[in-house]
Structure 1
């Protein structure tokens, strides 16, 4: 087989995802500064969550979980991959177009189901109006996800990874224009979403055409390939639906508390930085690689790919989680506390960030283990595991609300995340050697943990020493940069000495194109 360059792909996706997340931070800082936690931001968050929820349900979740392995195997075996992609595109285009139309018609019902607490005040009508503007985003992003899947399966990761950057560029540009002209920032923000979706679709569509997959809207054809795709995608769709129910339950609980939806949204953006750069990047590259290796009977290569993906992921995730738990208030106050966002908002967001930090390794580990199932076209068991996680999440989110108030959804998400990973790991034991990490990983993981603990101690101590500097408005950013730089030096230095990793290995892997 012609192997996918795993390390090259990971770093390509990781770098572009990092750029997207950094721009996303700038975006969130501008939103919190120009709009701030309150009714307008609550309405935007709830409205924008709707197309994102359905996008993950139909495209990035269910559809790609079925499409990417099937397409990768046909590509590896020269078994009509272009025809399969065209039929899948036609079917997805039809289904999501119908869904988009229905969603815009029944928007009040969708808002009531996902943010029932808004019905008690003016946020409900505003959310409905915003929802009808941003909901077509699902059409553009679902089709873009299909083209991204094609590009990833062929080892062309750059364009697919770069596409999400466009959303942040468009939103930042729109908010900048609003600030300079004195216009209503929320209006510019809302209309930037569908325009950015069109730009992302155009970019990935053109790249797929250049890769030899020129797809056009056509009448869907129902054949055996499409039946197999639906059979595999349906459990994944249900699993994605379960995960989205978790988000909705959390939002329903949070909507009962003033500003809570905005606070949780900001906290989610912060922990999504390492999750996106590491976990999602590895999952994107690992799925087509495992699929093609299993098709070629390369179990040893599959084990190596899994082990290296887990190793590099946790080497970056564990210290990130420690930082989120040790210095959350410093991170939040420097990044978000300005304009319409005050000290009380920072304290609330920081508490949620600390809770999400506890669950970060679990969310990343899920992204590593799930491709083991999807590469084998096994989407049923992840669905059953997701059902269990949903029950845990819903029970804790609702049950803890009288005790933990608006923080209950964050606690529930973290506990459910670890439960989901545990179930996935237990279920994967029957996949043989290809699903087991190798001796090198087992030897290094505890050294990674030790280096992360040393970094956490250093961050805690330095944070207390730099408190005067961090309290000065014009020097907070410099203080945080110093803090993170020293923390990184401690982590990578101690990790190198303890044998947690060897930085030269990453350079060598990039040179070899692995």
Structure 2
């Protein structure tokens, strides 16, 4: 399982690395002004719908159902064909409905833009270009679910790389478009086609590509799928409501707030995507198979391994986001149209996101306790409770803290969600933290303390010793600090685990 996590995580790392390069180029070309704000809204809208109806809800309903039919190859194939056809019909209908209503949709998502007619018109135009991306990416989600259930992870994990490559190519050709926002929007639209072709080719090679059939809801697989999908959609919608609230409230803040959220979120998503999503992607089908086979102990062991692995790899990022967010944003993004003010604003948001990171990374492992047992209702209750806390705090904190208050509310909501899920799973006997996991968490905590001391003590020293580099001094300081911190963290964690007799392989 760890090998599969590393495979998915490796491709996700490539995706996040190319995504970081994409964001650096985008920041330099568009900065954090009105064009960037309009594109962020245009980019987020199809992604919100994708998260609600696509990978967020779809995976938790499709993968366990498909895995339970895996022994009956004909039943699994027929189930995939029906879901594929139904999703295609729904997405075509949604696209036909959304395009003419796009001004109203954008006004609902970013009402503050209505006070700036040019920015509002640009956001509507760009969203009409990006929205068809949803049609293709939902089919990518379906094909990825089929491949993951058959333990084929590489193509699905590699597909997002094409989004970044397509956007980079489009930004490189920005001079051919009215502005860089139009170039980026077309890059998003084209990437949906490319991602679909990649996973379709892999599914076809494996003999798993679905076909168009007459959709029906009569068979047991489809009934089970929809019984899980309904609550999962509500749960995914809850998370997206909080994200909608971010965009809505930020649209009323001074220009640049929407972009600050975006750039900080991109860095926050790096460890979350590489580690948390990779672990969850591999863990869900693994736990589903073990639970279906009656191997509860094996399911708990897999969950503990994934959780410990996720904590150990993500904790250093949380420490860095909390202690040196301004250095990170300045070193990585401050160039071209992205100025010092934009870096400082994004750094404050990044620090707040750092508080959420440990919970965000492990939540995918904890929620697998429920999805593997076909329970999608409990995560809905936890998610909606967390959303109430999240949105309520956004309203309270945005006034005194501005855009940083939005991120702090997000962090609080994520922790509420994790704690509710863990308590309920533990009470039902659906999760069983092992001694190895507890020792690993303690070792991670000790290593974080050492890393924090190394960061706070080493930064002034590195800044004094670092030669003057006109354009890349902050980047060089960040790189040197990162290497020193990595050595300190890794050595402390290994020593702590060794003292308690825990081998890294068992983590």
Return the TM-score normalized by structure 2.
Answer: 0.95
| Correspondence for 1:142 | 138
Matching of residues 47-446 of structure 1 within 5 Å: 47-76=42-71, 78=73, 80-121=75-116, 122-178=118-174, 184-224=179-219, 225-258=221-254, 259-432=256-429, 434-446=430-442
Match of 1:488 among 486, 489, 503: 486
CA contact (8 A) 1:496 1:503 kept: no
CA distance in 2, matches of 1:276, 1:371: 16
Change (3 A) 1:21 1:367: same
Tell me by how many angstroms 1:182 deviates. Answer: 9.4
Between 494-503 and 185-194, the greater mean CA deviation after superposition = 494-503
Between 459-468 and 126-135, the greater mean CA deviation after superposition = 459-468
CA offsets, 1:138-181, max 9 Å, x none? 110000011001111111111110011000011112212337x7
Secondary structure in 2 matching 1:30: helix
Secondary structure in 2 matching 1:255: helix
CA offsets, 1:263-308, max 9 Å, x none? 0110000111000011000000000000011111111211110110
CA distance in 2, matches of 1:67, 1:366: 19
CA distance in 1, matches of 2:41, 2:375: 32
Secondary structure in 2 matching 1:162: helix
Tell me by how many angstroms 1:500 deviates. Answer: 6.8
Tell me by how many angstroms 1:431 deviates. Answer: 3.7
Tell me by how many angstroms 1:76 deviates. Answer: 4.2
CA offsets, 1:104-125, max 9 Å, x none? 1211121111111011112211
CA distance in 2, matches of 1:102, 1:183: 27
Change (3 A) 1:98 1:415: same
Tell me by how many angstroms 1:467 deviates. Answer: 2.9
Tell me by how many angstroms 1:401 deviates. Answer: 2.1
Change (3 A) 1:182 1:117: closer
CA distance in 2, matches of 1:9, 1:503: 25
| Correspondence for 1:3 | none
CA distance in 2, matches of 1:42, 1:443: 45
Secondary structure in 1 matching 2:252: coil
Change (3 A) 1:501 1:108: farther
CA distance in 1, matches of 2:282, 2:264: 27
| Correspondence for 1:466 | 462
CA distance in 2, matches of 1:501, 1:141: 47
Tell me by how many angstroms 1:206 deviates. Answer: 1.3
CA distance in 2, matches of 1:366, 1:470: 42
CA contact (8 A) 1:470 1:479 kept: no
Unaligned runs of 5+ in 2: none
CA contact (8 A) 1:40 1:123 kept: yes
Tell me by how many angstroms 1:183 deviates. Answer: 7.3
Q: How many residues align?
A: 502
Between 189-198 and 465-474, the greater mean CA deviation after superposition = 465-474
Change (3 A) 1:91 1:120: same
